[in-house]
A and B are shown apart, each in its own frame.
Chain A
Amino acid sequence: QSVLTQPPSVSGAPGQRVTISCTGSSSNIGAGYDVHWYQQLPGTAPKLLIYGNSNRPSGVPDRFSGSKSGTSASLAITGLQAEDEADYYCQSYDSSLSGLYVFGTGTKVTVL
């Protein structure tokens, strides 16, 4: 059971904005550790989308943005496109016995 909680699913029409939350605690996000985000298309390996809370690797569209506040983080997708339909995972460091690096529970984004 992950210590980072995400909504199981979110959906939106093409062109809309959707956000995915990642809720942690004082031993991970709340302790100031960075949050990273991954996109996993069906049948493929995860792809780094956001690192260090809000930084985009080269090649990632600026439609994707990340933020962090308190014990939570968020991933926003603006101008939703059909190709954005995928699973999204957050990741952070946890200082408790839950595990050094932990992933969120995952969120399925559906483009209506």
Chain B
Amino acid sequence: QVQLQESGPGLVKPSETLSLTCAVSGYSISSGYYWGWIRQPPGKGLEWIGSIYHSGSTYYNPSLKSRVTISVDTSKNQFSLKLSSVTAADTAVYYCAMCLDSSGYYYYWGQGTLVTVSS
């Protein structure tokens, strides 16, 4: 059974960089598939942030592309999200998830972590 677990600061100051890591167990990232980040502002819907293929190719939401970096560390079997120049609008629950093919469906999800942007 594949399991994903997000970790990182729950509070980030405006204009700083949000950094989250997703630890994967039960499957080796280097073996394949896409690994993504999705967020959900409190009381709102889901927004796709971006994803990374096991080989390192990245795909980003055009609306966030200038601020987002997703990377993978196969030695630690984890992947990471960095979102720069955050504002209150970036306050959300951030989920990491495993995507099984290019059609984009996410089969396994982490439990999510709330990140609040506030001074």
A interface residues with partner B (beta carbon < 8 Å): 2, 33-34, 36, 38, 44-48, 51-52, 57, 89, 91-93, 97-106
Contact = CB atoms under 8 A, between A and B. Distances in A.
Interface residues of B, number: 22
Given A45-B110, A45-B112, A100-B59, A2 B48 contact: no
Nearest to B100: A51
Given A2-B45, A101-B48, A105-B45, A52 B105 contact: yes
Nearest to B108: A48
A99 B63 contact: yes
* Interface hub of A57, A97, A98, A99 (most chain B Cβ within 10 A): A99
A103 B48 contact: yes
Interface in B99-119: 100, 103-107, 109-112
B103 A52 contact: yes
A34 B103 contact: yes
A52 to B, nearest CB: 6
25 contacts: A34-B103, A34-B105, A38-B46, A44-B111, A45-B95, A45-B110, A45-B112, A46-B95, A46-B109, A48-B106, A51-B100, A51-B103, A89-B45, A89-B46, A91-B46, A91-B104, A97-B62, A98-B62, A99-B61, A100-B60, A100-B61, A101-B51, A103-B45, A103-B48, A104-B45
Interface of B: 38, 45-48, 51, 59-63, 95, 100, 103-107, 109-112
Given A34-B103, A91-B46, A103-B46, 11 more contacts: A34-B105, A45-B110, A46-B106, A52-B105, A93-B104, A99-B48, A99-B61, A100-B104, A101-B61, A102-B48, A103-B48
B72 to A, nearest CB: 18
